[in-house]
Structure 1
Amino acid sequence: MTLLRRRRNPEGRMSLADHLRELRRRVVWSVLGLLAGAVVGWFVYTRLLDVLTAPIVHIQKARGDRSIGLNFSGLTQAFSVQLKVAIFVGIILSCPVWLYQIWAFIVPGLTKRERRTSMAFIAAAVPLFVAGCLLALWTMPRVVEVLYGFTPSGSFNFTNASDYLTFVTRFILAFGLAFLLPVLLVALNVAHVLPARVMIKGWRIAVMLIFVFAALMTPTPDAWTMLVLALPMVGLFYLAVGVSALLDRKRSKNDPDWRDVPDDEASPL
């Protein structure tokens, strides 16, 4: 593997087999990081469950009844729910690991200077991912309240615990991944795939797709929840456009465009 890395790094070129081996290596490291985080999640399950079910407890206290709640059905569901929550914690805690593996796979053959840039991107991606998850936690009580509000008066709504925690964890992860939008766009720009001018040209489509994504990820009928996710994403999109424009300008200064030199003249190169 060392010899392989030395051979392809100067030009950043890899065969299909090398790409597959690289992908396997990145996936293995990501899974190991996830498992390590899941072990931590297994031991903090009780405290985290109190946080995730707090919206239901709040509604119970506000209404002064027990018409809603969680239901653990079956002998093994309590175990499967704890395992699911542990994996969710593993994804959150291991985000620096799998974010770096994704970045390293998208932009292979990094030079020493580019590796330092990569660490800067990861340093930006981790807080963004965590900020998205925290925003989802802040929004969650409102979402649960709206959805439980459709329960008819006098009825009981004992939600399956596995279904509820699946909904909550996916909701939180969706917010976290949505906040990685600028990192993805800048990564594509660094990889010379997506120039800033293309992002600016397609801003209308980008904003529309952001609002569609926000509407799908926030299943409540009120517009407030959708705007909580969509507006930060729009701001992060324009932030990525600005960063990419600066990178494009810097590259244009360092790499002169020889296309302006006439064919019958010798370039300074």
Structure 2
Amino acid sequence: MSTSGDSQKEQGQAPLIEHLIELRSRLMRSVVVILVIFLGLYSFANDIYSFVAQPLMALLPPGSQMIATEVASPFLAPFKLTLVVAVFAAIPYVLHQAWAFVAPGLYDNEKAMAVPILASSIALFYTGAAFAYYVVFPLLFQFFTQTGPENVAVMTDINQYLNFVLKLFFAFGVAFEIPIATFLLIASGATTVESLSKKRPYIVLGCFVIGMLLTPPDIISQSLLAIPMYLLYEVGLLFGRLVRKRKAEKAAAEEQDENA
């Protein structure tokens, strides 16, 4: 009896070990790709930082420049930014590896839904980051540089600036995932379009609270995050209605086929 039990235990452990080995392999591939991209971009680290700093530099008086208050900041700030850019650039490959790991355990209908959701998530995250850079940063930095006293020179530390913009990149990238989250809640049956529609006042309030927590303490940046979040929430509701309509039409077609 003990020999049979040990054999079953070993058979149960074997698939787990195989999954862990596969997971490690896919994680290593992702890390290697990130490192390759980083090494390819590192020679352009200063140019990448200059590009990210452009929305602020364009609004400073002629001859103004950013400063480094720490000895290693001129090296570490571009280094850190290049590493983050490498991670962002590798997101499609990393998600592909994650998809390849979990796909064998999914049903066909789940696979059919997962691929467009993953692709949409990547596109929305990049769109959110681009929206922050091209729309939010110019408005935000114009407000900051023009509201201070006239006798105060704006001399931003490069490390503090990097931390500030990375926080906003991440905040807007995640905020633009709201349509996906809303769609998944409706498609999974966790909630309904009607229920979410009735909660609009709370959603609006929640968007501004999140905007207050994730952005600097000014009404402009909070609104620039909260308003797109709410509009994206409405986009998620729209897709939820389309899915519900499609399911109803499919159910009606199946019922007609059964009756025929």
TM-score scaled by structure 1?
0.70
- State the aligned residue count: 240
- The 3 A distance-change label for structure 1 pair 219 and 120 is same
Q: What SS does the aligned partner of 1:159 have? A: coil
Q: Report how far residue 210 of structure 1 moved.
A: 1.3
- Secondary structure at 1:152's aligned position in 2? coil
Separation in 1, partners of 2:78, 2:29: 24
Code of the aligned partner of 1:78: P
Partner of 1:161: 158
Identify which of 119, 124, 131 aligns with 1:128. Answer: 124
Corresponding position of 2:8:
none
Q: Is the 8 A contact 2:68 2:157 kept in 1?
A: yes
**Secondary structure at 1:226 match in 2:** helix
Measured at CA, do residues 65 and 38 of structure 1 come closer, stay the same or move farther in structure 2, by a change above 3 Å? closer
Match of 1:221 among 207, 218, 230: 218
- Over 3 Å counting, the alpha-carbon distance change for 1:107 and 1:182 in structure 2 is farther
| CA root-mean-square deviation | 3.8
Q: Which amino acid aligns with 1:160?
A: D
Q: Give the 3 Å change call, closer, same or farther, for CA 227–23 of structure 1 in structure 2.
A: farther
Ranges in structure 2 where 5+ consecutive residues have no aligned partner: 1-10, 253-260
What SS does structure 1 have at the residue aligned with 2:152?
coil
Could you give the per-residue CA deviations for residues 63-84 of structure 1, whole angstroms, max 9, x where no partner exists?
3453xx3222343222221221
Residue identity opposite 2:120 in structure 1:
A
User: CA 1:193/1:95 → structure 2, altered by over 3 Å: closer, same or farther?
Assistant: farther
Whether contact under 8 Å (1:147, 1:220) holds in the other structure is: no
Aligned to 2:51: 51
Q: Which residue of 2 aligns with 1:89?
A: 85
1:197 touches 1:245 (CA, 8 Å); kept in 2? no
Q: How far did 1:186 drift?
A: 2.0
Amino acid at match of 1:59: L
Aligned to 2:203: 206
Paired with 1:203 and 1:83, the residues of 2 have a C-alpha distance of 43
**Structure 2 counterpart of 1:156, which letter?**
A
2:110 is matched with: 114
Q: CA deviation digits over 1:199-252, x for unaligned, max 9? A: 2232222222112222333326343x4333322222211121222233345456
- For residues 255 and 24 of structure 1, the distance between their equivalents in structure 2, rounded to whole angstroms, comes to 43
- Equivalence map 1:183-262=2 (5 Å): 183-219=180-216, 221-223=218-220, 225-251=221-247
8 Å contact 1:40–1:86 — kept in the other structure? Answer: no
1:131-150 deviation line (CA, Å, top 9, x unaligned): 11111112212212322334
Amino acid at match of 2:157: N
Question: How many angstroms apart in 1 are the aligned matches of 2:207 and 2:28?
Answer: 31
The equivalent of 1:259 in structure 2 is none
Matched, 1:80 2:62: no
Question: Please, which runs of 5 or more residues in structure 1 have no aligned partner?
Answer: 8-14, 257-269
- Judge conservation of contact 1:185–1:194 (CA < 8 Å) in 2: no
Question: In the aligned structure 1, how far is the partner of 2:103 from the partner of 2:242?
Answer: 19
* Offset, 1:167: 0.5
Once the two structures are TM-superposed, the CA of residue 175 in structure 1 deviates from its matched residue by 1.1
Question: Residues 193 and 241 of structure 2 are in contact (CA less than 8 Å); yes or no, is this contact kept in structure 1?
Answer: yes
Q: Distance in 1 between matches of 2:97 and 2:233?
A: 23
For the 8 Å contact 2:129–2:172, the answer to whether it is kept is: yes
Aligned-residue identity in percent: 23
Local SS of the residue matching 2:149:
coil
How much does 1:168 deviate? 1.1
Which of 177, 180, 184 lines up with 2:177 in the alignment?
Answer: 180
Q: Which residue of 2 aligns with 1:10?
A: none
